[in-house]
Structure 1
Amino acid sequence: MALLIGCAALAALLVHTLVNARLLRRPPAAAPAPGPGEVAVLLPLRDEAGRIEPCLRALLALPPAVRLLVLDDGSTDGTADVVRRVAGGRATLLSGRALPQGWLGKPHACQQLADAAGDAEVLVFLDADVVLAPDAVARAVALLRTTGVDLLSPYPRIEAGSPGERLVQPLLQWSWLTFLPLRAMERSPRPSLAAAGGQFLVVRREAYERAGGHAAVRDKVLEDIELARAVKRAGGRIALADGAALARCRMYTSWRELADGYSKSLWASFGSPAGAVAVLALLLALYVVLPATILFGQWAGLAAYALGVAGRLVSARASGGRAFPDALAHPASVLLFAWLVARSYRRRAGTTWKGRPTWLR
């Protein structure tokens, strides 16, 4: 009976993933270039000299009316020199101020960039590992306006090279396509029903300021999700979108980088240790324990495994990710994710990222 109930739950989640994949917002095929003063692209950088060049070269291909602002947040590796060499006078390079007490690094950098963006109607926050298509900003802004939302998160196509990356990174899109009701999230005023990805974030300036900007999330390691919640609290609407045709992103290039990157922030995704235990227990039961029963002659375990893999395939197709053979290792992906969550909780008090703490007591 337990196996049948588990398989029914997995089937329901697969149907939900299919519905979300169909409803997922997608940018128009073409859009007019933004006019002067409409859009500012904001890029915070700290010690990114080794990987910022592809991002910068892509920004140079954006329409000339798009304003580019780059903030060097106390880098010690020559990041500012790379920006000057590649972007020249096309981008305005700012030097970050000292980090005030009570702030984490990225929210402080983003707030400085927003303050320097003048009267731009739309702010586009970007991470250093994101490479935009030439029409990405125009199409993303067009989608923001046609949907009527205040904050849009077009998820880039996540690139993964090493086995560890290929196991873990696809879970980003899979998680919200599987468990988050996308249209309900757009309609609901509840801040708890929110998701966003800080790699590529598009927000109306008016809504950003009404929400308090990044000052409202100054001490949050997951500042992207918290900013989306702040927009909701201020009466705004948010949406996720498929940004695979607009941008690509390789967040980490090694297992060590990935493990450290996830360790700095995964603990903040669950609200509390009890919430983390409950979520992990559900994931492990459905996507690891149930499929493993095939080893003991329970053929329902094969159905459970197939349903889990099917969900991964749907999310990969919907988000521009790699489908085969990566989806076949879904139980291993969930196991590895559970280990990363446990590691994140174990290390959160002492975790640093680029020389700064990621948790303020």
Structure 2
Amino acid sequence: MQLPAVAILLSRLLKGPTRHPPLEPRSAAPDSFGVVSVVVPTLNEAERIKPCLEGLTRQSYEVREIIVVDSHSQDGTADLVKTAQERDPRFRLMNDDPLPSGWVGRPWALHSGFLASSDHSEWILGIDADTQPHPGLVASLIETVYSENYDLISLSPQFILKQPGELWLQPALLMTLVYRFGAAGEKNSPPERVMANGQCFFCRRSLLVQLGGYTSARGSFCDDVTLARFAAAQGARVGFMDGAKILKVRMYEGMAETWKEWGRSLDLKDAASPGQIWGDLWLLLCVQGLPLPMLMLSALLVGRGNTTLPAIAALGLNGFLVAMRIALNGAIAASYDRSQAKSAWVFWLSPIADPIAVLRIFLSSTQTPTQWRGRTYGN
């Protein structure tokens, strides 16, 4: 059962050396004045939106406007945006209308911001409130899409980790994405395997008009991937790239919140067919969930004198998978900012969390969220 899964995994990982290099900060070009409208959806983000607002302020003249679409926050989020507006007139605060039936809150806020944006902007940049944009982020996005003829690109960030529990679990959860879709920057993925990240989602305005804004992802809890795959299926050129040098994010506080909040969206079931979902679960089980337990079991059997071919093969194969996973932990180290972490060394123990991470994807794949980003949804 494991052998064909290992072959599929290796075929994906071996593309790593040819992937698109990480994006670098850039300076704005003279002809890019006012070509971008930024849309930031918010709901009770007062505790973490300040670095996002500050990072957007540091973007240059290529940003025409920064529209913060607030879903009637009760924690002072709006006041922070108004304070930012006093320093930077590009900020504009608006409230979205009541959530229509069949919509999830985040795509509804993004759709509302898109409809309210200037027709003179050629690009729409969706940015989450928990991100920390570096200077030169938007200029780098513009240079990439124009030089490489993309219609839509999104970025994987550098994750800020602080607590030991998240240092242990979060990299294992991230590895479920790497094993299923390869590393950020891979090229020419078929539409049904396209990856995306809504934390930094840069789309040609004319493409969004063609797609009807965010309506195709209105009921999706992974609206970023749903919309990107829909765009790719319509013939758009879509890319998912490494943005660790120009974008940071502090997603969740601690292990429990990481398990609950991020874990329930990583299955991507709203953007995939049942066959894809179960195929990915089989792959994760074989190459990430089983290797450590199988290695321990086969080592025990061989140590007790069981030198049959199945026992030796299981020991060798799963030893290889565990060793590869340890090496990949080193490969993704640059995707993490551990400078503020307590017990940063716990990061290197994350391969031990792999069976738990795979279990989380299994659980999420069989459940539909009833609560998401401060909202409650019915069945």
> Quick one: which of 10, 17, 20 aligns to 1:24?
20
Change in 2 beyond 3 A, CA 1:178/1:22: farther
Change in 2 beyond 3 A, CA 1:352/1:249: closer
Paired position in structure 2 for 1:344: 364
Q: Distance in 2 between matches of 1:150 and 1:348?
A: 31
Paired position in structure 2 for 1:127: 128
Alpha-carbon deviation of 1:183?
A: 10
User: Retained in 2: the 8 A contact 1:216–1:230?
Assistant: yes
Change in 2 beyond 3 A, CA 1:268/1:124: same
Q: Distance in 1 between matches of 2:235 and 2:17?
A: 27
Paired position in structure 1 for 2:216: 216
Alpha-carbon deviation of 1:83?
A: 1.1
Change in 2 beyond 3 A, CA 1:326/1:282: same
User: Retained in 1: the 8 A contact 2:176–2:358?
Assistant: no
User: Retained in 1: the 8 A contact 2:264–2:361?
Assistant: no
Alpha-carbon deviation of 1:162?
A: 2.1
> Quick one: which of 52, 57, 66 aligns to 1:55?
52
User: Retained in 2: the 8 A contact 1:173–1:315?
Assistant: no
Paired position in structure 1 for 2:166: 165
Paired position in structure 1 for 2:84: 86
1:10-21 matches, cutoff 5 A: 13=9, 16-21=12-17
Is 1:76 paired with 2:74?
yes
Paired position in structure 2 for 1:152: 153
Percent of residue pairs bearing the same amino acid type: 27
Alpha-carbon deviation of 1:93?
A: 0.8
Counterpart amino acid of residue 76 in structure 2: G
Change in 2 beyond 3 A, CA 1:229/1:128: same
User: Retained in 1: the 8 A contact 2:290–2:355?
Assistant: no
Change in 2 beyond 3 A, CA 1:102/1:13: closer
Paired position in structure 2 for 1:231: 231
Alpha-carbon deviation of 1:304?
A: 2.9
User: Retained in 1: the 8 A contact 2:19–2:185?
Assistant: no
User: Retained in 2: the 8 A contact 1:185–1:238?
Assistant: no
Q: Distance in 2 between matches of 1:107 and 1:339?
A: 28
TM-score (norm 2): 0.82
Alpha-carbon deviation of 1:307?
A: 1.7
Paired position in structure 2 for 1:280: 281
Q: Distance in 2 between matches of 1:234 and 1:106?
A: 23
Alpha-carbon deviation of 1:289?
A: 2.9
Counterpart amino acid of residue 375 in structure 2: G
| Structure 2 residue matching 1:94: 3-state secondary structure | strand
User: Retained in 2: the 8 A contact 1:126–1:200?
Assistant: yes
User: Retained in 2: the 8 A contact 1:62–1:135?
Assistant: yes
TM-score (norm 1): 0.85
Q: Distance in 2 between matches of 1:282 and 1:30?
A: 38
Q: Distance in 1 between matches of 2:257 and 2:73?
A: 18
| Structure 2 residue matching 1:260: 3-state secondary structure | helix
Paired position in structure 1 for 2:354: 334
Max radius of gyration: which structure?
A: 2
User: Retained in 1: the 8 A contact 2:151–2:204?
Assistant: yes
Paired position in structure 1 for 2:309: none
Q: Distance in 2 between matches of 1:329 and 1:320?
A: 13
User: Retained in 2: the 8 A contact 1:155–1:197?
Assistant: yes
| Structure 2 residue matching 1:169: 3-state secondary structure | helix
Paired position in structure 2 for 1:101: 101
Residues 45-83 of structure 1 deviation map (CA, whole Å, 9 limit, x = unaligned): 011011111111111111144121111112111210111
Q: Distance in 2 between matches of 1:326 and 1:184?
A: 23
Q: Distance in 2 between matches of 1:122 and 1:87?
A: 21
Change in 2 beyond 3 A, CA 1:263/1:350: farther
> Quick one: which of 290, 294, 302 aligns to 2:319?
302
| Structure 2 residue matching 1:192: 3-state secondary structure | helix
1:197-216 matches, cutoff 5 A: 197-216=197-216
Change in 2 beyond 3 A, CA 1:52/1:183: closer
User: Retained in 2: the 8 A contact 1:151–1:202?
Assistant: yes
User: Retained in 1: the 8 A contact 2:160–2:336?
Assistant: no
